[in-house]
Structure 1
Amino acid sequence: MSELLTLDSLSAPLRVLRLLAADFGHLPAPTMNVSPIYPNRLELALHRDGLHGFEVWREALGIAPNAVDFSVQCDGRTGVLRTLTAHAGAELELVGYGDVCTPVPIGGAA
């Protein structure tokens, strides 16, 4: 990005964070990220509560299950649920990390 961003440039995701804290303060606490790299995006990542925490947030936000992508990280043991949606004038990225019940072989190894 060639222009210098100010804190005010991040007002949309910060506003969404404030609204989520007021409306969903009872839900599992995610790791939150606001970055000038994606100035209109708030990322909520769930590590500790993992995939279950992701599902709780997904349902509370009214995100359809078919809007969620699933992948497995290169270790073959960590599943990742991810969705990107619009919420209150900003992009909201919701990510959940959790253990895969049966490790997935990587690189075709059997």
Structure 2
Amino acid sequence: MNEVLTLDAMAAPLRALRLLAVDFPHLPAPVVDVNSLYPDRLSLSLHEQNGAFTAFEAWRAALSIDPAAVDFHVQFDGRTGVLNAEAKYAGATIELTAYTRVPTTARLSTAGVA
């Protein structure tokens, strides 16, 4: 039997979003995702154009996420750097993700790799 998820079941991430808007109105606006597949999660994505993660760092600090808890990887294309971290906030799990271009000079070469 399939249960219908109600909007009330998603109250924690929606409450967290409302509080983030009140507590941190000065921070860069992220792409926001709340969905019924993960009803306790609020996803904030930042797409940074400057080759740095300045907006991510501002959000990380605001959410009191330990820098050691941040995961960094480069996507398979070698051109996109990704930072990802999670935090609890207002009863929800906040997933914070940022993407930025990896400068050409910083891309790894596959020359000589077997």
Q: TM-score, normalised by structure 2?
A: 0.87
Is 1:68 the equivalent of 2:70? yes
The answer for the alignment partner of 1:104 in structure 2 is 108
Gaps of at least 5 residues in structure 1 are none
Aligned 8 A contact 2:12 2:92 in 1: yes
Runs of 4+, deviation exceeding 2 Å: none
Is 1:6 the equivalent of 2:10? no
Is 1:43 the equivalent of 2:47? no
Query: Cα distance, 1:91 vs. partner?
Result: 0.3
Aligned 8 A contact 1:41 1:92 in 2: yes
Amino acid across the alignment from 1:68: V
Query: Cα distance, 1:104 vs. partner?
Result: 3.1
Query: Cα distance, 1:48 vs. partner?
Result: 3.5
Is 1:78 the equivalent of 2:80? yes
CA distance in structure 2 between the partners assigned to 1:92 and 1:53 by the alignment: 15
Aligned 8 A contact 1:77 1:104 in 2: no
Q: Percent identity among equivalent residues?
A: 55
More displaced 10-residue stretch of structure 1: 15-24 or 54-63: 54-63
Aligned 8 A contact 1:13 1:42 in 2: yes
